[in-house]
Structure 1
């Protein structure tokens, strides 16, 4: 986070815009970074036919002008708070494509975007725009709730310490989470989960000491986490080594600790697989209700 030079902030025309900007300003000042704030326009034309909008350039210009005016109103009280702030209103049917194009053009290092979470549902569904943004981005993305950060927040780092192939990604997650904890005056909690050991019963389970197996796994995990924290040069306040599905355990721990931000890594996919929902990272995103930073 502290190595970020330019942050792209995507806001929408709702009451949450001010909170998104507030969070972006905090991070920009901590990183001494420049802000690029964009507003992607298109969905607001639901009452008009696509053909009418595309053909009527005057109407399109009017809509963009109105959106630009709204954006400037939002930024009036923000520009003096950061060292540099650029803004743009973009016309794109798919907001995620507009965001990624703007990030590429501005050479941004981080994308911050508001996300709407249905608090009353057991399963927190993020929008298709969020999914597509996360699947296609090459830079970190922070999805934030339209609410202010609390003082001294818990920053949760979800790592796969038992997977040596993910050492560098887990290290990156720890560094990012530690820096966020430092910026926000919070505490770092590390979470490492492993699959359930007794999902079945039968002859194959006879003679297995599952508690001893759990103890062995925890010992290996603690050793791996110590290696990771040494490599990342971070210290932590809380450590959770949990048995169970990562998505379920992370949601429970985030609720129990009232974590403000979850930092996690995801392995990028290409081709047909990039369109498949259901990998661990996407499942975690479905079930967590705090702000989330996704790294690759």
Structure 2
């Protein structure tokens, strides 16, 4: 199983609590060899202020960078002071500034640079119009990052919590992602000693044509759908040595079922795949991962198609 040795953390300006940095430090407790890069993006406003001369522009640029660097160094020092055990283990937190013309693109460019093997970002609040008018930064990362992304939420990791893996058997591609998600979850489970639970939803949508079939019983159709989903999750669990008691399935749509199951299981981390939609379709439809992001009070660990393709290419190159 893979160990995360280079973690990229997005520092959020004007926030008292840096959720992503706190979560990275928790991971570092289990792997002291980790290097945490604390990335602070600086918006390059000089392109919008045409009247500045070159000397004034350079001075303004240098002043902004110097002030931001000092602020970032102070944040790291204060954070390490709150976690002396991590500091004593020699965990490195490296400050990094990056000038960008677009915050979202800047995050993605750094994430996809090939230096890091995990990205952690604090969760932002979304509204329904956010997805329609523009793509929030974390949604952009979920769709296009080529490395696993963790969206950290403000909740403690406790001993009685659990790790939840949302599995989907509707296509061959998603079945492959089930395995990859489980492998990542097993790594976290090993270091945190937290049990893994598999969850799945069984949407029962009655075909319209069946309404006209004589003696057709909708309840039997629903039972057959639920039984098929249960068979698949149990077969998957048996193959990967997950106890039957740690498999959970419920009738309903994923965006309704998954948050309820996660709350019931007291999940601290939820592993889920994102289909990586883009364009108008993503804004209006979204996908399960994005639809539940606000309704689960747990960290979201997300793999998308680009992540899987990138890692498969990397593995092939190493061979």
TM-score bracket, normalised by the shorter chain, equals: 0.7 to 0.9
CA drift at 1:286:
4.6
> Which ranges in structure 1 are unaligned for 5 or more consecutive residues?
none
Contact 2:151–2:299 (Cα < 8 Å) also in 1: yes
**Which residue of structure 2 aligns with residue 65 of structure 1?**
66
**Which residue of structure 2 aligns with residue 51 of structure 1?**
49
Q: Alpha carbons of 1:161 and 1:91: their partners in 2 closer, same or farther (altered >3 Å)?
A: same
CA distance in 1, matches of 2:25, 2:275: 29
**Which residue of structure 2 aligns with residue 24 of structure 1?**
24
Q: Alpha carbons of 1:166 and 1:202: their partners in 2 closer, same or farther (altered >3 Å)?
A: closer
Contact 1:125–1:286 (Cα < 8 Å) also in 2: no
Q: Which of 239, 242, 254 is the aligned partner of 2:250?
A: 242
Q: Is 1:281 the counterpart of 2:279 in the alignment? A: no
CA drift at 1:9:
0.8
Q: Is 1:256 the counterpart of 2:242 in the alignment? A: no
Q: Which of 120, 126, 140 is the aligned partner of 1:112?
A: 120
Q: Is 1:219 the counterpart of 2:227 in the alignment? A: yes
Q: String of CA shifts for 1:106-147, please: whole Å, max 9, x gaps.
A: 5211110011237xx8x7978711121222211111001234
Contact 1:142–1:291 (Cα < 8 Å) also in 2: yes
Q: Alpha carbons of 1:54 and 1:146: their partners in 2 closer, same or farther (altered >3 Å)?
A: farther
Contact 2:262–2:296 (Cα < 8 Å) also in 1: yes
CA distance in 1, matches of 2:157, 2:233: 28
Q: Alpha carbons of 1:124 and 1:288: their partners in 2 closer, same or farther (altered >3 Å)?
A: farther
Q: Alpha carbons of 1:211 and 1:174: their partners in 2 closer, same or farther (altered >3 Å)?
A: farther
CA drift at 1:274:
6.6
TM-score by length of 1: 0.81
Bigger shift: 104-113 or 71-80?
71-80
Q: String of CA shifts for 1:193-225, please: whole Å, max 9, x gaps.
A: 122234869843653333433333333333322
Counterpart secondary structure, 2:187: helix
Counterpart secondary structure, 2:160: coil
Q: Alpha carbons of 1:235 and 1:90: their partners in 2 closer, same or farther (altered >3 Å)?
A: farther
**Which residue of structure 2 aligns with residue 3 of structure 1?**
3
Contact 2:142–2:276 (Cα < 8 Å) also in 1: no
Bigger shift: 212-221 or 160-169?
212-221
CA drift at 1:270:
6.8
CA distance in 2, matches of 1:134, 1:124: 18
> Which ranges in structure 2 are unaligned for 5 or more consecutive residues?
81-85, 305-319
Q: Is 1:182 the counterpart of 2:180 in the alignment? A: no
Contact 2:210–2:216 (Cα < 8 Å) also in 1: no
How does 1:9-158 map onto structure 2 within 5 Å?
A: 9-13=9-13, 14-17=15-18, 19-31=19-31, 32-42=33-43, 50-51=48-49, 56-76=57-77, 77-78=79-80, 80=87, 81-105=89-113, 107-117=115-125, 128-158=136-166
CA-atom RMSD, angstroms?
3.4
CA distance in 2, matches of 1:202, 1:287: 34
Counterpart secondary structure, 1:105: coil
Q: Which of 156, 180, 188 is the aligned partner of 1:172?
A: 180
Counterpart secondary structure, 1:224: helix
CA distance in 2, matches of 1:116, 1:263: 18
CA drift at 1:161:
2.9
Contact 1:172–1:232 (Cα < 8 Å) also in 2: no
Q: Which of 286, 298, 301 is the aligned partner of 1:293?
A: 301
CA drift at 1:25:
1.9
